[in-house]
Structure formats: C-alpha cells, structure tokens
Structure 1
Amino acid sequence: MSFESLGLSHHIIHSVKQLGYLKPFPIQEQTIPVILSGKDLMGIAQTGSGKTACFVMPILEKLQQQEVKRDRNIQVLVLVPTRELAIQIDEVFRAFTGHLKREIKTMAVYGGVSINPQMKGMLGVEVLTATPGRLLDLIHNKALSISQIQHLVIDEADKMFQLGFEDELKQIFALLPKKKQTTLFSATLNDKISEIKNILAIQPVVVEIAKDALDIDKIDQVAYHVTAETKGPFLRYLIKENKMNQVLVFVSSTRTADKLVEKLLKNKIRAISIHGEKSQGSRRDHLDYFKKGDVQVLVATDLIGRGIHIDALPVVINFELPRSPLDYVHRIGRTGRAHDAGSAITLLTDEDMHHFGVIQKKMGKTVEIKPTTDINLHGY
C-alpha cells in the first residue's frame, strides 16, 4: 500500500517523499483513512510505531482546505503528558507543512519555561500541542480559547493518568465544544482510557496494532560506559580509530544535534545534522550528502531518523538513548538491512544504566557494556 492510496493529496505526499518515507506503517494504513473520514478514533499502539504521523498528515490535509483564521481560537488541540513529546510532535507537524496549500501556524507549549513568550506567540496558532497544566495556565490568562476546536488528539493517554493529569484533563474537557473529532492514542487499553471515552461521549473506531518486530539478530550490539564529560571525546575516538566513513548518530534533540556537529567539525570529522527545524530542501540535501559519502557522520533526531533508509549502512551510534525501547529497536534497525550485517553502538552514562536495562529487557537481548576508563582520549 502507498501513501497516495490512503487519500492524501500531493501537498502531503510531497513532504512524505522528502522525508524519505517509502511506505506507510501498519497503523498509518488503518488510521489515516478513518481520520480523513471524520470519525472518532482510538489507536492502541506502542511508542515508535509511527502513530504521530497517523494524525498529523490527515489533520493537515483537512486543515489546508479551510480558510485561514488569525485569532486566538485553536482549531486543533493535541494533549500530551511531557514537554519532550510536545516538542517532538510539533516538529512532525512542521515537517509536513512545507508544501501545503497555505501556511499553517503550529506551536508547542509546556511548563518549566516562561509563559510570556508562549502567550505572545499564540495569535494565529491553528495547531497547538500542549501539556495539560500549561494549557490551563494559558487559558486562564486568556491567551487562547479551545471552545471552537475541530479536532482533539490525546497522545499517550495512558501516561496521562500515570503522571497524575486526571484532574487537569477533566477541566480541559469541560471547556471543549461538543461537536469535534477526537483521536486517542494509547499503548494499552485500560479502564482509564474507557473513562475518557465516556466523558467525551464518543464511540470511536478502535485500531489495535500488535508490537512489530525488526530482525535485530544480525546486528552486532555493544555499549560503552562513559561520563558526561568523556562522551563527546569518546565518540570522536570511535569514529577516528575505527576509520568510520558512514555512521548515523542518534540524539534526542535538535539542539544537541547541531552542537554535536559543531564539535565534530572542529575535530576535522565531516559531519552534518538532519532534524525537524531544518527546511525540507536542507534535509534532502544533507541526506544526499551522507548517502554519497560527502560527509562521514549524519547526526539525526528520531523524527527524521525513522525516515532514513540506506542500504548496507554499516554503523549506528546512540549518542543519547531514546524515550522508548521500541524507538531504540527502530534506531538500530537502520543498520543490518538488506541481509547485511550491521553494528550498533550505544554510549551510556551512569544516569542511562537503568533505562538501558529496561530497553534490553523489552528487546529480549543482553548487550555487553564495556568500560572506557583505560582509553586515552587525549587529543580527541
């Protein structure tokens, strides 16, 4: 099945191709037509299964057909449990807006930072991705209204309750219009998710996708124990000592990606970054440079990294761990493709050890963790 067959216009397909996606993930095949049809949806799928694009593409598809509104009435509200997820989802929206019929303003808001810039930037926002507490703060300050939203998305709904957002959600639900399209995504189906359905008075189409499995047996995995101070020098040591000519490095944020490239270039390692804040043309060019061998290292975030398909990519390095075990599996799955062996290297600080233990347990494989204290990193 192709993206074209799902009912998406060439405006969206253009971005799909530039991002490097070859075909829809199973959950995208089943959910995109449902959302385009206007029906409520509940998707049960693991993090990293491609679910963000499930709602981003059809929502933008529908929104681009409407007249632009330059006020403080949000058209699409995406509720998420964490700041990191809010930023990531907003990056996905931005990545798909480059070739739409008209400009669509998106924004992510979350706590832990000053509310004033968020209040000032709210005018004209049509798609808002928000954590519940900060959303309520903005509403109380009259920075925006959610009384006219057309589409409500709740992502990682199960985590909303794990993190104690039940009261905030009920306050938000009370402010929403009765008529709207609702999309819920959760890793599990439980009583709390059913409670959300009842509060919102919806009977959604339910799509459940079993955990997908990548063949990771042919990938040689190894991890190295480093400190926060030695992580950068050790990465440069690995690349230089092993004469790596094509290595994909994963990081967790766009800021880290750009800073890491800056350090690599200073140390005479040809590197380039690719992430959601770069233009469509820039992402395409950078990926081409990497594929052709013009640069040794491509530093990527998970958003763009999932769309990178390179035959016989020899090495993937996790400079930072991803949020979920499935994201880790998909990262290392960029190597070891087309029946070729591949190598996956992970750099771990003390703070990463517990999370990496969870990743190994979920993956069903034990990865050797090697010390680095005896390695001379002087000059790296």
Structure 2
Amino acid sequence: MSLDKLKLSKSLVAAMTDAGFLTPKEIQTRTMSRILGGQDVIAVGPECSGKTTTYVLATLMKLKYAFEEAPRALILVPDVEHVDHVLEQFKLLNRNSTFRILGIDSRGTIETQMNEITDGCDIIVAVPDRARALYLKLALNTNKIQLFIVDNAELIVKKGLQLPVVELANSAYKSQHVVFTEVMHEKLNHMISPFMKDSAATIEVDEIGEKQAEVYQQMLYHVPNFRTKLNLLTLLLSDTEVFDKVVVFVNTRLTAQTVYKNFNQHKEGEISIYRSLFFDDKGYDDIEDFKNNPEARVLIVANENLGELNIEGIPFIFHFELPEQKETLIQRIVKHGNEDVVAITFSTDIELIEVKKIEQAIGQKLEVMELPENLKVVDAADKPKKKKGAQEDDESSERGAAFHEKKASNLKNYNYSAGAKAKMTYKNKKGLS
C-alpha cells in the first residue's frame, strides 16, 4: 500500500519518503481520514505501531497554514523524553519549518515559557502539569485550539496526571480530541470520558510480533488493585490439590512479607519466603531445599537483587507483580524440554501496558481468565465487596503468623513431576468439575 492512501499533501508525502517511510502503517490508514475529517478518535496500538507519526502528519495537514499568535494544536505527552521524541518527528516532517513548534516541560522556567508562548507558536508539545500551570497563569490561550491530542495516555494515567489533562481538554472545548494509547482500561476511560464526544471512534490495532520461542501455558488474571491481588492469590492457592508446588514472584522483599502475612492459617513450613528481609523469618536461602521438601508448597520470591534462580521442575509460576524489565519474566516462561508448566500473571489496569509489551515480545496473547465467583474484590475505597453472585465468607478469619522454617537439606528425591502436567493444565484452564 502506498502513502497516497493517506491523502497527504505532496510535501508531506515527499517528507515521509525522504524519512524512509515508504508504506503507511495500519493505524495510519485506519485513523487518518477520521482525524482529518474532524472526528474525535481513540487509537489503540502497541509500541512502534506508528501512533506518533500519525498525529504529527494529521496535525501538519489540518493546520494548513502557519503563524498565528495563539496555538492551534496542543499535544500532551507523559514526560520530557516524549516531548523530545515528538519534536524530532515534527522536525523530520515539518519541511522548511513551516510551523512554529514549542516544547514545554520542566526543563525551562515558567517565565521563559510564558514569553515563548506570547511570542507566538502554532503547535505546543507539553507535559500536562506544566501546560496546566501556564494555562492558570493565563499564558496558554486554549481558545483557538483546533486539535487537542493526548499521546501515551496510559503512561499519563500511570503518572497520575489525569487532572491537568481533563482541565486543559475542557478548556479547549471547541477543539477536536484525539487520544493515542497502548492499552484501554477503566482508569483511562475515566480520564477521557469528560471531554471525548459520544461519536468518538475507537480504533484498535493489535500487531503481535513474530513468535520468538516456545513458552509455557500463559494465563492472565486482570484485577482492579493490589488488595484484590492478595485475595485472589490466597483464594487460588487454597486449592492444595492443584497447587502443590508453586513459586510466587513479587518485586520487593517488603511485598514478599505482605503477601506471606496475607495467607490465612496454614501448616508450618507450607508457605515460606526466599531470602527473607528479616533475620528471624527462617525461610529458604537455597531453592533446592524448597524443591526437595515435600511439606513446602509455596515459595514467595522477590525480584529485588535476585540474580539467577533455577525454577526448573516447579509446575506453577505466579507473577504477582510485573517485574520492571519484561525480560526478567520472559526468561522464566521460555519452555525447556518437555516440562509442562503453567505461568499465571496478575495485572492491574496500570500494569496492562507491561502485559502488552510481554505479549509483543513472545509473539502471543496471554489467555485472560475469569475471576472466581467467590473472590473478594476490593473497591476504590478499600472496602471489600463480593463479586456478584458470591456467598459471604467469614470476615473474622485471622491472618497466619510468621513462622520459623528449618532448612530441609537432608530431605532427598521428592518427586513432584512438574505437577502431573501442571495438574492437567490447571484443571483444563480452570474448567474445574
């Protein structure tokens, strides 16, 4: 497909060709005509799918002529790195510097930026909180904004910058609103719903990369918050018949303590922490001791300063939290030999972007599992509520106390056989009888 399909000006087609963009991306072919036509658009696509180039082209096409005093396009991005990236894209495609484009972030003083805006500009690329500060000082005039763009919206939500985005969008009430994001979730919907028109088009491009390696069976539980993660973990692992040997990965040793203490009463030695934060918590310093002990069922491991860990032979791998580097998770789920292992990931809305990056890297989707009916889902006010249709559980159950685990080096040859094909692949993907 040629660039002519995007219906760009000859100068923009030439700029794209010179920059090495010879064919349009799917997200460009599906969104460009809608943006140029004035429709509000929510565009969802993975990293490197062409989102930035799409709105840079659309902005240059829609403004048509340059040099007015007040800006006509406002582009909000999550941080200074994204400001620089977007400015580079405009520099690449804004031939002959037709438009005056200004970057606004924390690296400049408010006074200097006020003067730069007053001198006149056509397009502003800004981080939300600094743009809002300039708006409140009456330096940023939003009355002539024609195109209001939010890029990497999922990262803006993750950074807690929803309020300035909403205030600025509402102030530019005459403008067209366009949102680009890698994922959609409830918190993001909550941010954009006050200003997106009901007629807004949602366009999703789901480009999965080529499969690089065989991985274990992947399952994903999407939960609203950390507290619900705790409830889900304890509920699933209460099935001792299925989950007879499990490693649970968290990010810090403090979180490992929190997860451990959340378990209800259990047999001594059944649940333990790997290299515990506190000296008097006698967990395991050697994972082989955990593997060889038939009484040890669940080992909680922190990614913090972990290094290499041999989890071969353990049938269930839980990622309670997504590690900072996706490669950390990926190396644990790459299949070795004929082992049958189930890898289960928990994700909140904020972590869904990391899930997407993992899916791109492994070349396949994680299978989304339904939450159990009897799971206690915690709402935003941290008040436990039952999933609809579930029976009430006893709220008075006590939390298990910390325990002192003896090392089990003298116990040999415990054969848990990768969980009998990971308990028939987690009882046929949770279709329990």
TM range (shorter): 0.5 to 0.7
- Residue in structure 2 matched with residue 140 of structure 1 by the alignment: 136
**Separation in structure 2 between the aligned mates of residue 60 and residue 70 of structure 1, nearest angstrom:** 14
SS of match in other structure, 1:107: strand
Q: CA deviation at 1:359?
A: 8.6
Matching of residues 284-303 of structure 1 within 5 Å: none
Describe the superposition over 1:42-91 as per-residue Cα deviations: whole angstroms up to 9, x where unpaired. 10111221110111112201212x4x3431x2100111111111111121
Contact in 2 for aligned 1:109/1:118 (Cα 8 Å):
yes
- Residue in structure 1 matched with residue 369 of structure 2 by the alignment: none
**Separation in structure 2 between the aligned mates of residue 85 and residue 144 of structure 1, nearest angstrom:** 20
Contact in 2 for aligned 1:40/1:181 (Cα 8 Å):
yes
Describe the superposition over 1:236-280 as per-residue Cα deviations: whole angstroms up to 9, x where unpaired. xxxxxxxxxxxxxxxxxxxxxxxxxxxxxxxxxxxxxxxxxxxxx
- Residue in structure 2 matched with residue 349 of structure 1 by the alignment: none
- Residue in structure 1 matched with residue 54 of structure 2 by the alignment: 54
- Residue in structure 1 matched with residue 402 of structure 2 by the alignment: none
* 2:171 partner amino acid: L
2:123 corresponds to 1:103: no
**Separation in structure 2 between the aligned mates of residue 27 and residue 170 of structure 1, nearest angstrom:** 25
SS of match in other structure, 2:194: helix
Consecutive unaligned residues in structure 1, runs of 5 or more: 218-352, 366-380
**Separation in structure 1 between the aligned mates of residue 21 and residue 329 of structure 2, nearest angstrom:** 25
**Separation in structure 2 between the aligned mates of residue 198 and residue 88 of structure 1, nearest angstrom:** 27
* TM-score with structure 1 setting the length: 0.54
**Separation in structure 2 between the aligned mates of residue 151 and residue 50 of structure 1, nearest angstrom:** 19
Contact in 2 for aligned 1:152/1:180 (Cα 8 Å):
yes
**Separation in structure 1 between the aligned mates of residue 170 and residue 175 of structure 2, nearest angstrom:** 13
* 1:128 partner amino acid: I
Q: CA deviation at 1:215?
A: 6.9
Equivalent residue for 1:70, pick from 56, 62, 68: 68
Q: CA deviation at 1:187?
A: 1.2
Q: CA deviation at 1:26?
A: 1.2
**Separation in structure 2 between the aligned mates of residue 45 and residue 172 of structure 1, nearest angstrom:** 24
Contact in 2 for aligned 1:111/1:133 (Cα 8 Å):
no
2:159 corresponds to 1:189: no
Work out which of the two has the higher radius of gyration on C-alpha atoms and give 1 or 2: 2
SS of match in other structure, 1:200: coil
* 1:92 partner amino acid: Q
Equivalent residue for 2:202, pick from 194, 201, 206: 206
Matching of residues 300-379 of structure 1 within 5 Å: 355=325, 357=327, 362=358, 363-364=361-362
**Separation in structure 1 between the aligned mates of residue 15 and residue 157 of structure 2, nearest angstrom:** 34
**Separation in structure 1 between the aligned mates of residue 330 and residue 191 of structure 2, nearest angstrom:** 33
**Separation in structure 2 between the aligned mates of residue 359 and residue 15 of structure 1, nearest angstrom:** 40
**Separation in structure 2 between the aligned mates of residue 166 and residue 54 of structure 1, nearest angstrom:** 23
**Separation in structure 1 between the aligned mates of residue 130 and residue 202 of structure 2, nearest angstrom:** 29
- Residue in structure 1 matched with residue 404 of structure 2 by the alignment: none
Contact in 1 for aligned 2:39/2:200 (Cα 8 Å):
yes
* 2:74 partner amino acid: L
**Separation in structure 2 between the aligned mates of residue 42 and residue 165 of structure 1, nearest angstrom:** 18
- Residue in structure 2 matched with residue 36 of structure 1 by the alignment: 36
* 1:355 partner amino acid: Q
Equivalent residue for 2:83, pick from 73, 77, 86: 86
* 2:327 partner amino acid: G
Describe the superposition over 1:166-218 as per-residue Cα deviations: whole angstroms up to 9, x where unpaired. 222232233222x221111111111233234430141311110113315768x
**Separation in structure 1 between the aligned mates of residue 327 and residue 10 of structure 2, nearest angstrom:** 43
Check 1:130–1:358 CA distance in 2 against 1; reply closer, same or farther (3 A cut): farther
- Residue in structure 2 matched with residue 21 of structure 1 by the alignment: 21
2:126 corresponds to 1:156: no
Q: CA deviation at 1:354?
A: 5.0
Q: CA deviation at 1:115?
A: 2.8
Equivalent residue for 1:173, pick from 157, 169, 174: 169
Check 1:26–1:113 CA distance in 2 against 1; reply closer, same or farther (3 A cut): same
**Separation in structure 2 between the aligned mates of residue 18 and residue 359 of structure 1, nearest angstrom:** 39
SS of match in other structure, 2:21: coil
Q: CA deviation at 1:149?
A: 0.4
2:117 corresponds to 1:119: no
Consecutive unaligned residues in structure 2, runs of 5 or more: 214-322, 332-357, 364-433
* TM-score with structure 2 setting the length: 0.48
Contact in 2 for aligned 1:152/1:183 (Cα 8 Å):
yes
Check 1:186–1:201 CA distance in 2 against 1; reply closer, same or farther (3 A cut): closer
**Separation in structure 2 between the aligned mates of residue 60 and residue 112 of structure 1, nearest angstrom:** 26
Percentage of pairs with the same residue:
22
SS of match in other structure, 1:192: helix
Equivalent residue for 1:128, pick from 124, 127, 142: 124
Contact in 2 for aligned 1:9/1:61 (Cα 8 Å):
yes
Contact in 1 for aligned 2:166/2:192 (Cα 8 Å):
no
Q: CA deviation at 1:152?
A: 0.6
**Separation in structure 1 between the aligned mates of residue 166 and residue 179 of structure 2, nearest angstrom:** 15
Contact in 1 for aligned 2:73/2:122 (Cα 8 Å):
yes
Check 1:360–1:84 CA distance in 2 against 1; reply closer, same or farther (3 A cut): farther
**Separation in structure 2 between the aligned mates of residue 92 and residue 359 of structure 1, nearest angstrom:** 32
**Separation in structure 1 between the aligned mates of residue 179 and residue 30 of structure 2, nearest angstrom:** 14
Q: CA deviation at 1:358?
A: 5.3
Corresponding pairs, count: 224
